[in-house]
Amino acid sequence: MPAMLELKNITKKFGGLVAVNDLSMRVDEHEIHALIGPNGAGKTTATNMIEGVYHPTSGQIFFKGQDITNLKTHEIARLGIGRTFQNIKLYDTMTALENVMVGGHQLTKLDLFPSIINPKGLMEEEKMLKEKAEMLIEYVGLSGIKNEYVKNLPYGNKKVLEVARALMMDPELLLLDEPAAGLNPSERADFVSLLMRIHSEGKTLFFIEHNMDVVMNVSHRITVVNFGAKIAEGTPQEIQTNPEVIKAYLGERYKVK
Amino acid sequence: MKKKYWLILLVSAVIVVAYVLLFMTSNSYIQSVMNMLLYNIVLVLGLNFITGLTGQMNMATAGMMALGAYSFAIADTSYNVNPWLSLLMVLALGLVIGRALGYPSLRLQGFFLSLTTIGFNEVVRITVNNLTDITGGATGYKDVRRLPFFFQFPDKNSYFYLNLIFTLIMIAIAVLVVNSKWGRAYKSIRDNYEAAEATGIDIAKLKIQAFTLAAVYSVVAGVMYAGYSQYLNPTAFATSYSQNYVAMLMVGGIGSVPGNILGATLVTVLPEVLRAFQNYYWVMFCTICLLMAIFVPDGLWSLLQKAIRFVQKKLNRNKEVA
Ligand SMILES: Nc1ncnc2c1ncn2[C@@H]1O[C@H](COP(=O)(O)OP(=O)(O)O)[C@@H](O)[C@H]1O
Ligand SMILES: [Mg+2]
């Protein structure tokens, strides 16, 4: 069976800077896979290549066996990859509910002209989108603020809202770029339990994270990168005891554990 | 929810009836302003799709309108094509213009797109000016034949009703598009195109679509204009008019249909009211627009909405206390 996601010898150069260097890894179906490494190691760049924001300088990317290396971002998203962003990217002039509804745009069928001559069909789609978005907003625990404008929301709510928007498109694989960054401990605990719930419903999770409690507790496998290259891969146990990882990233504190 | 829709429908019906009554009891000068307002509303509604919702500057509104007006006149009056067929041809032209401007917009942003659309507007104006044999050039195109209304060619006054019907249809379509998945999708491009792409939205397709909507609305306004005035002149489609439509969009409210109508109304009527100030009128008009841009950047409609929400909150609180 092909992997849910497979990177084969991915390299990305920005001018002379090698942001990602010959990175290979695979994420299996229904796995929770973490990507860790120091700031500037190329984690976000790797995510952006999976999503087609950048195309690799060399190497290939496969999603469920299909080569997606040179597809456009929206085509890759439609195949079933949802994502959240390290720096929140929401639609500020819309309400929380509307933000989530946009996530479902590509699930609807009516094109522009048909929807003008068939308002009833359009209204049915609206109803479908609204019901689904309301259900998801409830699912992530934001029902209370669904009609608030996003620009007025606290940081923690925005992070969670991005997840709801990504779920709206029924992705099989969810890419999360530093989902717990900037959350306080209680928000972080809620976020982790949300991720576990999402996983228990059959989704595959691939996430970048600096908080080691989160990483070590929820991941099945961990890939560690430094200066764009992979330096280790394995279970949380293996990663915590890997001398090279400790030296490059975790620090001596983790050795004792 | 149902109740709200009926209320909106009722208010709209009252406004339309009042508008018709006002038209019937006015002198011909006011009537021509009232007709101008109709095609200005259509133009701003069209501009709203691309500049208001999608966030792509379009300074070619007057040029697109000119293409609609002249093609209609040339097809129907010069070549005696059936008037309704001419209208269909003009709509098809709108689709072509939308693509012609939409594709460059995929590569150009901000100032560069503004300049490109200004260039488009000027190319249209100069072409119309120089194709004297077909367009009448600077002396203008005279005696445009009107669209038949109830099977006869209407006089100026009854043509107003045809324009009113066109306007109502264009408003209805705009309401549908703006307040549905399309409006949200266009706005998502303006607010954050990276996030939009990542949720599977095909930005290129939607930008071209929004430009096409703007073009179709503009050419329809062109036909409305051509039929009412029956005289076309390239100076009526200068780039400065395109700027005016952007001003209407900003004054009234970007993104919302009532805001568009409000803006079109204010910027159409205000100069006429200010004419009483003679030499100072243009200065006053510009000052008012500038002050609004500074103090009410989201447009007057947003201010009105805030006021309504405030009153609602007050009322609800009073209810709770009681
Ligand atoms: N668009 C870009 N242009 C030039 N350099 C970039 C670009 N994006 C990222 N980089 C560089 O690539 C390296 C990796 O960045 P990034 O992937 O954001 O790291 P991480 O997410 O692991 O912190 C950094 O040195 C960064 O400055
Ligand atoms: Mg990063």
Q: Among B211, B95, B65, B74, which Cα is nearest to B144's?
A: B74
Domain count, chain A: 1
| B7, B9, B10 from B3: Cα distances, Å | 6, 10, 11
Tokens standing for residue B234: 């390239």
What pLDDT does residue B150 have? 65
DSSP letters along A219-245, please? -SEEEEEETTEEEEEE-HHHHHT-HHH
User: Is the CB of A115 less than 8 angstroms away from the CB of B176?
Assistant: yes
Nearest by CB to residue B191, choosing from A91, A108, A129, is A91
What pLDDT does residue B137 have? 87
Ligand nearest to the CA of residue A41, numbered in listed order = 1
CA B57 vs. chain centroid, Å, equals: 14
User: Is the CB of A165 less than 8 angstroms away from the CB of B199?
Assistant: yes
What pLDDT does residue A246 have? 85
- Residue B202, chain A, CB below 8 Å: the answer is yes
Tokens 């004419």 found at: B275
What pLDDT does residue A256 have? 45
Q: Which residues of chain A have pLDDT under 70?
A: 252-257
Domain containing residue B34: CATH number: 1.10.3470
> Residue B42's domain spans which residues?
3-321
Q: What mean pLDDT comes out for the span B161-182?
A: 96
Contact indicator for A226, A40 with CB cutoff of 8 Å = no
What pLDDT does residue B322 have? 56
Distance, CA of B49 to CA of B186 (rounded, Å) = 8
- Residue B198, chain A, CB below 8 Å: the answer is yes
**Residue A44: CB within 6 Å of ligand 1?**
yes
Nearest by CB to residue B199, choosing from A92, A93, A106, is A106
| ipTM score | 0.92
What pLDDT does residue B308 have? 85
Nearest by CB to residue A112, choosing from B184, B198, B209, is B209
Tell the residue nearest (CA) to atom 18 of ligand 1: A44
What pLDDT does residue B313 have? 82
Domain containing residue A154: CATH number: 3.40.50.300
What pLDDT does residue A244 have? 84
Domain count, chain B: 1
Q: What mean pLDDT comes out for the span B46-51?
A: 96
Q: What is the pLDDT of residues B210-262, one digit of tens each?
A: 999 999 999 999 999 999 989 999 999 999 999 999 999 998 988 899 999 99
Tokens standing for residue A185: 């401990």
> Residue A251's domain spans which residues?
5-256
- Residue B184, chain A, CB below 8 Å: the answer is yes
Residue B315 pLDDT > 50: yes
Backbone angles phi, psi at A6, to 5 degrees: -140, 125
What pLDDT does residue A91 have? 97
What pLDDT does residue B311 have? 86
Q: What mean pLDDT comes out for the span B311-319?
A: 79
Contact indicator for B76, B83 with CB cutoff of 8 Å = yes
Q: What mean pLDDT comes out for the span B130-141?
A: 90
A-chain residues within 8 Å CB-CB of B177? 112, 115-116
Q: What is the pLDDT of residues B82-134, one digit of tens each?
A: 889 999 999 999 999 999 989 988 888 888 888 999 999 999 999 999 998 88
Q: What mean pLDDT comes out for the span B41-48?
A: 97
- Residue B193, chain A, CB below 8 Å: the answer is no
Q: Which of B173, B189, B199 to mutate to test the interface with A (most CBs of A within 10 A)?
A: B199
pTM of the model: 0.92
For residues B259, B276, B240, B214, the Cα torsion angle rounded to the nearest 10 degrees is: 30
- Residue B182, chain A, CB below 8 Å: the answer is yes
Shortest alpha-carbon distance between residue B131 and chain A (Å): 34
Tell the residue nearest (CA) to atom 24 of ligand 1: A40
CA of A16 to the centre of ligand 1 (A): 12
Q: Is the dihedral of CA A201, A68, A214, A84 positive or negative?
A: negative
B4-13, B43-52, B175-184: least confident range: B4-13
